[in-house]
Amino acid sequence: MAENLPSQTTLTTAPSIPTQPKRSKSSALLTPNLPKLPIPPLKESLTRYLRALEGLQTPEEHEKTKEVVKEFLQGGEGEKWQKKLEDYAKEKESYIEEFWYESYLSHSDSVVLSLNPFFVLSSDVTPRTDPQLSRAASLILSSLSFIHDLRNGYLQADSIRGTPLDMSQYGRLFATCRVPTDRGCRMEVHDDSKHIVVLRRGQFYWFDCLDSKNRPLFSDREILSNLEAIVKDADKTPVQAVAKNSVGILTTESRKIWSSLRADLVNSNKLNASCLSVVESALFVVCLDDAGPEDLAELCGNFLCGGYKLEGGIQTGTCTNRWYDKLQIIVCSNGEAGINFEHTGVDGHTVLRYAADVYTELVLLFAKTINPSTPSLFKSKLSPFSKSAKNPPAPEEGEEEFETSPKKLEWRLTPDLLAGIRYAETRISDLICQNDSQALEFKGYGGNFIKRHGFSPDAFVQMAFQAAYYGLYGRVESTYEPAMTKAFLHGRTEAIRTVQPEAVAFVKAFCSDNASVTEKIETLRKACKKHTQLTKECSQGLGQDRHLYAMYSLIRRDVQSYHASRARGSSATNGNSGSYNGNGNESLSPSNQSALLFSPQATTSVLSTDGSIHDGNGNGNGNGDISPPDAPTHGQVPGSTAPESERQKPRVPAIFKDPGYNLLGTSVLSTSNCGNPALRLFGFGPVTPEGYGIGYIIKDEGISVCMSSKHLQTRRLLHTLQAYLIEVQKMLIQLWKEANERPEAFIDHTGHMRDARTGKKMNNDGDGDGDAEGDERDDELLGGFGFFDVGVQSGLPQARRRRPTVGKQLAIAEY
């Protein structure tokens, strides 16, 4: 089915999306006129950089950083590297894209808990007798329909308020695999893939799903039949025997170990190589778990890193039923479903669009059982080659061959591979035990309440994280939130640094006994206003993180090129034909180098899940010169701006050695907002050992937060967050009441007591006629700004009832 094995494939770029969309121009898939991501003026980026550090450093530390920045800006180094970056960007579609892939693909640790995020879909709206397999079949069919529309140019183009967005990431969403090598990783995209892979109890099965025109070959009932056959066969394997033969667990290893084991797998025999090719070239992987999470914490952990369960000292958890190098649809035995995705080629916004469309289609399919005329979200039609097709294929369709019955992949594992699986299971079990994932589904209020009181919901929740963390730990830490830059060609994200001077002033005021409620809310408004401004600037590409990181990466390449030229000279002197690559191995040939999307290096910096920068061990940017002190590195680095004849050793500017650069890049609070009604929860692991990974969804009437850490007080921080949300709500209501206090009644010239607002005559007990519950309703019906008052409206002539009221009217509370 696949002509080339993954080990032989050198494809490193995504296939282009069809250039001739088969739809109206108003919904054209491509957006060819998108502008390039701008390189901000250096002075502006450095000003933002200093503001982002002001609240994180002591006054003495900040003064030192300001001196370093001043030297970089005025001493000529900054201007030189800004010019080199601008020249480099002239020939690139995005000045950050190549460095972005270098960072992700040079990550050396396990991708589990480090890179792969997850989504948990909202509850299934369709009543099902078999909640797992029936829902899985529907998810598969909807995903195939999405792929059909994507590949044939029918997919509605993304846009925000009329601004078109870059769609190139969708070409890396399906049939894509992260493949390890001994020098890092590469991305493979199999644009002719037609099959999916299903995992059950660590066993692999596959079957074709699309014809040559990408039309689904199955109805959901036929897919369900295939899944039932797979489960029946897989469940013959005892749960105690699953872990020892679970090949998928190898993808949880560190990338170098997985690379070595993968090479053994390919070279052991042709059968293993063919099985691996089938898995890596699949459209996506479906994981049918044989267990169902019992609480929110277990639910999050299951979709993030798999479940941990020991029976007689043997691992029987769902962690053995995964393949982390690809897009995974995970369905639990109780019908809970979600997605775990490899993050290198796609951002959360892209996967969210896919998840939302698929979930919407499931809702429409249920509606269709009630009203058969309900339309579908997708344009795909059942293939005429399907067994359930009403009409046979037309003569011009030709003949096609498919493997529509599920086939089991039979691995022939050597003793070394079996030992590798055993130790990989031990290591992922350790990682799971180190991880603490907790969730909060706060239902006290949501985006509607926040907006009524004049706040941006996202900024409001970001300040809630700051207040909760400060209230628990008594300090602020570097915080990251991604801002989407897909309005630009090949745009990804820019880093919003939440901890600004306004945010620091707010948390200190909020946690102070001396500040009044008015002062606390006023500082909150200022902090939220600043965060909203930052978000807009970063969405326009006007941040500091990506700019400085691209410059740093360019400098690093020149340093490595200098050492490469020394290495070649030393090799020529010693009569050696090879050069040192920093790992003790022979140097890469030019052809092998071009097959990689990153430049191999002895010390690597990694853009982790949140987009912040860390070294290969997840310890932040690192400080100091990134080149080895004496030993030369590998050969010439592609894209370097330094000529080989350059004799003067290039130096890393002091700004990148300053502790502030490492401080800002170490995101203790890594946060991301991925809101959509199709999702119940969203999360990812922490990007630093002393930090938290926080995924959140702001709904109209609630806020969902998933928080992960390594043995920190995750549950306690969530409780502190919940207490803050309740406390700030009370403050806002209190201030609203004070601003909208009911005026006192007055006595008119006839001696009657009248209501100050309505002028209506009041009873002797102080209540208006027929309005005994007015005060109570005023307490309950509180609008955010007081634009209207229900008590007033009920007293107006046009609001009088035309017939007697039967029964007691109930007040509807807004809070």
- Among all residues, which ones are annotated catalytic? 343
CB-based contacts of 261, cutoff 8 Å, min separation 6: 250, 253, 417, 420, 424
Residue with tokens 């940017």: 621
C-alpha–C-alpha distance, residues 313 and 19, integer Å: 55
- By CB atoms closer than 10 A (0-12, 13-18, 19+), residue 713 is middle
**Residue (of 583, 561, 684, 724) closest to 627 by Cα position:** 561
State how far the Cα of 161 lies from the Cα of 167, in Å rounded to an integer.
16
Convert 254-277 to b/e letters by CB count within 10 Å (16 or more is b). Answer: bbbbbbbbbebbbebeeebbebbb
* Burial grade of 689 (CB within 10 A; 0-12, 13-18, 19 or more): middle
Closest CA to 524 of 772, 765, 766, 728: 728
SS (H, E, C) 40-87: CCHHHHHHHHHHHHHCCCCHHHHHHHHHHHHHHHHCCHHHHHHHHHHH
Cβ(514)–Cβ(491) under 8 Å? no
| Dihedral sign computed on CA atoms, order 94, 95, 100, 106 | positive
Q: Residues near 475 by Cβ (< 8 Å), separated by ≥ 6?
A: none
Residue 441, φ and ψ in degrees, nearest 5: -110, 90
- 540 half-sphere exposure, CB direction, 13 A CA radius: 8
Q: How far is CA 116 from CA 111, 302, 434, in A?
A: 6, 13, 16
CB 388 within 8 A of CB 211: no
Pair 660, 66: CB distance under 8 Å: no
One-letter-per-residue 3-state SS of 150-186: HHCCCCCCCEECCEECCCHHHHHCCCEEEEEECCEEE
Per DSSP, the residues of 115-138 read T--EEEEPPP-S--SSHHHHHHHH
Contact between residue 562 and residue 643 where contact means Cβ atoms under 8 Å apart:
no
Burial class of residue 295 (count of CB atoms within 10 Å of its CB; 0-12, 13-18, 19+):
exposed
Amino acid at 621: N
Give the number of other Cβ atoms within 10 Å of residue 7's Cβ: 17
Cβ atoms within 10 Å of 573's Cβ, excluding its own: 8
Contact of 90 with 237, CB cutoff 8 Å:
no
On whether the CB atoms of residues 464 and 728 are closer than 8 A, the answer is: yes
Helix (H, G, I), strand (E, B) or coil at 393: coil
The tokens for 626 are 């990134």
Backbone φ and ψ of 361, nearest 5°: -65, -35
Q: Which residues contact 503 (CB under 8 A, 6 or more apart)?
A: 55, 463, 466, 476, 527, 530, 531
Q: Where are the beta strands (DSSP E) in 277-320?
A: 285-288, 310-311, 314-315
**How far is 9 from 14, CA to CA, in rounded Å?**
13
* Beta-strand runs (E) in 264-417: 285-288, 310-311, 314-315, 328-331, 337-340, 407-408
Do 692 and 717 touch, CB atoms closer than 8 A? Answer: yes
Distance CA 217, CA 69 (A): 61
